[in-house]
Structure 1
Amino acid sequence: MTMKKNIILLFIAFAFCGCSTDYTVLKSVEGVVLTADSSIKITGETVTFTVKDNNNNDVTGEADFSVNGSPIEGNTLTSSETGDFKIKAVIGTVSDTITVHYHDGSETNFVKRVLIEDYTGTWCGYCPRVAYGIELAKQQSDKVVAVSIHRPSSNVSSSVYDPYNYDTSELENTLGAEGYPKGFLNRKTQWTFPEPENIAQVIGLTQGNNPKMGLALETSVSGSTMNVNVNVKFSSNFSNLKLVVYVLENGLIYDQHNYTTYYDGVDLLEDFHHNHVLRAVLTPLLGEAIDSSETVVNNVYTKSFSVPVPANIANAANIEFVAFVIDANGNAVNVREAFPNVSQDFEEL
């Protein structure tokens, strides 16, 4: 019995060893995951699909795709029609269905930014109040775009001399507010005094309904030349719009009078850092008209500038560009800032 039992055990062991040499683990295709690079597209744009297995391996090339039940070639879809398109992928098993929505451009929204124009002066002891308010607003939101407009005299003998003075009388005459400082939001709304205690007024203008217009800038500064392309995209039809483009400078150092309790209540604020200082306007100050044929759904309007670096710029590395579009009443609809040598995308939502 013992020998017979041993023979049986050897046979079983051989059988198992023999099978193991031919056994292959098959790749699982259960639970394949289908994704699209975007769930919302404008007609004419292409959406690309990807399929991955449970181990995050890309198996797109092995999959077959269908749209609304009909097979398609490849893993992309382009549609000239609006509506919802239901997509599935098959690779040994069927994926969950995903939906891609195509629209004509009118459903696109853009990030909403707020413009602050701060009318100030190095001689103006109460002006640090608005500057401090801008710092607080920027701490709360990255959607705040500030412009510091220094006023009112370039006469070195004047008691209101400011080395960074830029004459904006044409604009100020439309505001109905005298004296300095004065802060205006989106060009025509006065920032309520005291500005540092009314940050909510600024942040509130970044909230609510998003605009149907967005901006994207392409900028470069090379040697003594600045190149700026301002691109404006529309997801609604507009009329009577104007474009304004500013050149600013950061990091300017000059003493600032301070009669306020802000900045520790110190007067003088020696070697004060003046940022976002207006140095040039590439368009008319009150805006350059955009033809109504350009301000229509899904169109991109482009305005290009190639101009010398302004002579009053102390350091070209500190240049900042700000572009915004104003409506027929002079209110800023949306705004964007950019530093040199960048290429921005539209901030579509």
Structure 2
Amino acid sequence: MKPTYSKYLTLSAFFLTYLFISCGSNEPIGGSAGNVDEVNPEVTSIVLSSNSNTVNLNDTITLNLVTNTGEQVTSSAEFYLDGVSISSNSYNFSSEGTYVFTAIYDGLTSNELTFTITENNSNELTSITLSSNLSSYYINDVATFTVTGNDGIDYTDEASITLADGTILTGNTYDTTTQGTFTFTATYNSFVSNETLINVLPSPVSFQKNVLIEDYTGTWCGWCPRVTYGIKLVEEETENAVPVAIHVGDAMEVAGVGPLVSYFNPSGGYPFANLNRTTSWNYPEPNNIGQVINFTNGGADLGISINPTLTGNTMDIQIEVKFGIDYSLAELALVVYVLEDDLIYDQSNYTSGYSYGSADPLVNFEHDYVFRASLTDLFGDPIPQSSTTADNIFVQNITTSVPSNVSDSDNLSVVAIVVNSSGNGTPGSSNSAINVRSAYFGETQDLQEL
């Protein structure tokens, strides 16, 4: 240990010198304190640690030594195992037993580090397992494989993955170009994995994707013509949009529509338009036509056809839904609306800059796609899960009278919507539309397979 009296001599000498200088200058007291030599704290102890607290048979540890002042002194220390000097600060546990490490630096002895190694805590590699990210794929999907050792280490990059015919994969992926069942194994050093089977299915049928626009509106709503005009612009760009005008608080309101309105328009603000039931059409709607059209891009996993006929006052409607993929684990429902065009009522109008002009009201305004009745529950009637398997066609036949609130049956159309009915209208459920279709009476439709 260093003698402590030297500190006092140094400090006393400094104080006298400093006092002399300060008396003959204008420097404030403390102005030259930066010239004092710092006194390093004493090293009184050393702490030994390792890079890992958990070690197994055949693991290597690295020892580290630090003084109580925080100085790293590993390279200047001597290390001991069970009291015997070892040549470096790293050690490999090649056999079972109890190991006690210490270190000495500048006459100081460290704490002890003790490790007990048994075969039970050995993570020696003895086997590898091959797994795939899925068990079934469609043609042109990519299967991805992983090779994992019993020691928990990922050996995918170092392993070879082989198809049953002897083909060795490049990397850990396989392009599924042919239908069938395929077997794979992996090898790493002398280890061979389990066999992993994948099933490659035919490419699923895809269908035209249509978008549902539900416009919550009323003749009293002066801003509602803005959405009506937005729908007009959408129809100029695509034939794959299905508008529905749900009137509230005017002569076209349908009794019993309240639960639908309160569920999808809980704020009660108007106008309000939803896309596929659960996505709000962004304001101002005429400036966001692209948002609607984007819903029609790509293919849908189910297709819908409607073939309605009208005989006198009787509506016969056949709806078919074909499933391109297996939906049997989902809860799907079918919603069927009856709409009417060419209903003439004055419309309040607070808008300007659109094709309707700024007149208020818009006298004898033509209202189209007006909701007149739901032939199912507003949130949909369940489709049996046994009917929603891949390539199956679910058929719904409806025979009923023309709704009593219809003004002219020649202007009627039918809308069919397949929704994810999880929760069936209860808060937190999805109720999003998977696909939608509309048809006028007398029209013949196919399923829009792509």
**TM-score, scaled relative to structure 2:** 0.52
Counterpart Cα distance in 2 of 1:115 and 1:318: 20
Task: Please state whether the residue corresponding to 2:410 is helix, strand or coil.
Answer: helix
Give the one of 365, 374, 381 matched to 1:281. Answer: 374
Structure 2 counterpart of 1:321, which letter?
A: V
1:165 corresponds to: 253
Q: 2:392 aligns with which of 294, 299, 304?
A: 299
Percent of matched pairs sharing the same residue = 43
Report Cα offsets for 1:88-124 as digits up to 9, x if no partner: xxxxxxxxxxxxxxx9775210001000000000111
What is the CA deviation profile of residues 184-219 of structure 1, one whole-angstrom value per residue up to 9, with x for unaligned ones?
0001111111111111110111113x1110000111
Query: Which stretches of structure 1, 4 residues or longer, exceed 6 Å deviation after superposition?
Result: none
Q: How far off its partner does 1:342 sit?
A: 2.0
- The one-letter amino acid of 2:357's match is D
1:126-205 alignment runs, 5 A limit: 126-152=223-249, 162-166=250-254, 167-175=256-264, 176-205=266-295
Per the alignment, residue 336 of structure 2 pairs with 245
Cα gap change, 1:232/1:106 in structure 2, threshold over 3 Å: closer, same or farther?
Answer: farther
In structure 1, the gaps of 5 or more residues are 1-80, 84-102, 153-161
The letter of the residue matching 1:334 is: N
Alignment of 1:227-266 (within 5 A): 227-238=316-327, 239-261=330-352, 262=354, 263-266=356-359
* Partners of 1:107 and 1:294 in 2: CA distance: 16
CA–CA distance in structure 1, aligned partners of residues 285 and 304 of structure 2: 27
Moved more, 105-114 or 257-266: 105-114
Q: Is the 8 A contact 2:179 2:202 kept in 1?
A: no
Q: Aligned residue for 2:79?
A: none
SS of the residue 1:264 aligns to: coil
Q: Which has the larger radius of gyration?
A: 2
Between the aligned partners of 2:370 and 2:228, the Cα distance in structure 1 is 12
Residue 304 of structure 2 contacts residue 320 of structure 2 at CA under 8 Å; is this kept in 1? Answer: yes
Q: Is the 8 A contact 2:323 2:392 kept in 1?
A: yes
1:213 counterpart residue number: 302
User: In the alignment, what sits opposite 2:73?
Assistant: none
Contact kept, 8 Å, 1:106 with 1:297, in 2: the verdict is no
Residues 224 and 271 in structure 2, CA contact (< 8 A), matched pair in contact too: yes
Cα deviation, residue 274, structure 1:
0.3
CA separation of 1:142/1:105 partners in 2, compared to 1, >3 Å: closer, same or farther? farther
Q: Which structure has more RCO (C-alpha within 8 Å, separation ≥ 6)?
A: 1
| Structure 2 residue matching 1:177: 3-state secondary structure | coil
Residue 148 of structure 1 contacts residue 276 of structure 1 at CA under 8 Å; is this kept in 2?
yes
Say whether 1:333 aligns with 2:404.
no
Give SS of 1:139's match: helix
* Letter matched to residue 172 of structure 1: V
Aligned-partner Cα distance in 2 for 1:113–1:291: 23
Q: Distance in 2 between matches of 1:172 and 1:310?
A: 20
Q: Is the 8 A contact 1:105 1:298 kept in 2?
A: no
Change (3 A) 1:106 1:244: farther
- Equivalents in 1 of 2:368, 2:380: separation in Å? 23
User: For the Cα contact (< 8 Å) 2:349–2:358, is it kept in 1?
Assistant: yes
Instruction: Give the 3-state SS of the residue equivalent to 2:394 in structure 1.
Output: strand
Q: 1:344 to 1:105 in 2, by over 3 A?
A: farther
Query: 2:317 is paired with a residue of what secondary structure?
Result: strand
The letter of the residue matching 1:282 is L
CA spacing shift, 1:315–1:245, aligned 2, 3 Å: same
Cα displacement (A) at 1:178: 2.0
Q: Aligned-residue CA RMSD in angstroms?
A: 1.7
**In structure 2, C-alpha distance between the alignment counterparts of 1:220 and 1:254, rounded to whole Å:** 28
The 2-side partners of 1:193 and 1:330 are apart by 23
Q: Which amino acid aligns with 2:447?
A: F
Structure 1: how far apart are the matches of 2:319 and 2:203?
Answer: 21
Question: Which residue identity does 2:436 align to in structure 1?
Answer: V
